A and B are shown apart, each in its own frame.
Chain A
Amino acid sequence: MPRPGFVLDVDKSTPPIMFWRGENFSLEKLPADRSRVIYAPEPHKPIDDIDAAIRHSLLNPIEMDPLPALLFPGMKLTIAFDDISLPLPKMTRPDIRQRIIEAVLDMAAEAGVDDVHILAALALHRRVTEDELRHQLGDRVYDAFAPRGLLYQHDAEDPDALALLGTTDHGEEVEINKRAAESDLLVYVNINLVAMDGGWKSTATGLASYRSLRHHHNTHTMQNSRSFMDAHKSELHKSNWRMGEIMRKHGPKIFQIETNINNDTFPDPFAFLSKREWEWNGRDRAKFVATQAALKRTPNRIARSIFHGIEAPHNMTSIQCGEVEAVHKVTTENVWKQQLVEVQGQTDILTMGIPFICPYNVNSIMNPILVMCTGLGYFFNLYRGKPLVREGGVVIMTHPTPNEFHPVHHPSYIDFFEQVLTETTVPHELEARFEKQFAEDDWYRHLYRTSYAYHGVHPFYMWYWGSHGMQHCGKVIIVGGDAPTVRRLGFTPASTLNDALEIASDVVGRSPTITHLHTPPLMVADVK
Chain B
Amino acid sequence: MKALRIDRNTGRFMLARLLSGFDTGSAAKMGPLTYGTADAPDLPGNGWHRVYPRLTGICGSDLATVEGHASTYFENWVSFPFVPGHEIVGQLDSGERVVIEPVLGHAARGHAMPFENAAPGDGDDYAHLALPPLEPGIQIGFCNSTGGGWATELVAHESQIHRIPDDMSDERAVLIEPLAGGIHAALLAIAHCTNVEEPVIAVQGAGTMGLCAVAGLRAFAPHARIIVGARYPTQMRLAKEFGATTVVKSSELARTVRHAVGCHIVGDYLSSGAHVTIDAVGNSDSIETSIKITRPRGRVVLMGMPADVTVDLTGLWHRETELKGAYTYGTETLPDGTKRRTFDIALELAATFRVERLLSATYPLGDYTDALRHAAEAGPRGAVKIAFDMRQDLSRQEKNR
Contacts and interface: CB of A to CB of B under 8 A. Distances in A.
B263 A418 contact: no
A418 B255 contact: yes
B360 interface: no
Contacts of B258: 443
A441 B259 contact: yes
Contact of A442 (B246, B252, B263): B263
A422 interface: yes
A419 B264 contact: no
Contacts of B265: 443
Nearest to A438: B259
A416 to B, nearest CB: 10
B256 interface: yes
Interface in B223-270: 246-249, 252, 255-256, 258-259, 262-265
A415 B246 CA distance: 12
Given A418-B252, A419-B256, A443 B246 contact: no
A337 interface: no
Interface residues of B, number: 13
Contacts of A107: none
B259 A415 contact: yes
A interface bracket (residues with beta carbon within 8 Å of B): 10 to 19
Nearest to B248: A418
B317 to A, nearest CB: 25
Contact of A446 (B247, B248, B259, B264): B264
Contacts of A441: 259, 262
Contacts of B259: 415, 419, 437-438, 441, 443
B246 A419 contact: yes
Interface string B199-235: 0000000000000000000000000000000000000
A414 B262 contact: no
B249 A442 contact: no
A442 B249 CA distance: 24
Interface string B261-281: 011110000000000000000
Interface string A422-462: 11000000000000011011110010000000000000000
Name B's interface SS. Answer: mixed
A418 B228 CA distance: 12
Contacts of A418: 248-249, 252, 255-256
A440 B252 CA distance: 20
B262 A419 contact: no
Contacts of B248: 418-419, 422
Contacts of A443: 258-259, 262-265
A442 B262 contact: yes
A440 B259 CA distance: 11
Nearest to A419: B256
Nearest to A442: B262
Contacts of A442: 262-264
Contacts of A438: 259
Contacts of A437: 259, 262
Nearest to B263: A443
A514 B42 CA distance: 80
B262 A415 contact: no
A483 B252 CA distance: 19
Nearest to B255: A415
Contacts of B264: 442-443, 446
Contacts of B246: 419, 423
A442 B258 CA distance: 10
Interface string A394-434: 00000000000000000000110011001100000000000
Contacts of B255: 414-415, 418
B323 to A, nearest CB: 26
A441 B258 CA distance: 10
Interface string A319-347: 00000000000000000000000000000
A171 B249 CA distance: 41
A25 to B, nearest CB: 32
Contacts of B256: 415, 418-419
Nearest to A416: B259
Nearest to A446: B264
A422 B237 CA distance: 11
A438 B255 CA distance: 13
A442 B256 CA distance: 14
A419 B248 CA distance: 7
Nearest to B264: A443
Nearest to B256: A419
A419 B264 CA distance: 17
Contacts of A415: 255-256, 259
Interface string B76-99: 000000000000000000000000
A59 B246 CA distance: 60
A419 B258 CA distance: 12
A308 to B, nearest CB: 26
Nearest to A443: B264
Contacts of A423: 246
Contacts of B247: 422
Interface of B: 246-249, 252, 255-256, 258-259, 262-265
27 contacts: A414-B252, A414-B255, A415-B255, A415-B256, A418-B248, A418-B249, A418-B252, A419-B246, A419-B248, A419-B252, A419-B256, A423-B246, A437-B259, A437-B262, A438-B259, A440-B262, A441-B259, A441-B262, A442-B262, A442-B263, A442-B264, A443-B258, A443-B259, A443-B262, A443-B263, A443-B265, A446-B264
What 7 pairs between A and B have smallest CB-CB spacing?
A: A418-B252, A443-B264, A415-B259, A441-B262, A418-B248, A442-B262, A419-B256
Given A418-B248, A437-B259, A442-B262, 10 more contacts: A415-B255, A415-B256, A418-B249, A418-B252, A419-B252, A419-B259, A437-B262, A442-B264, A443-B263, A443-B264
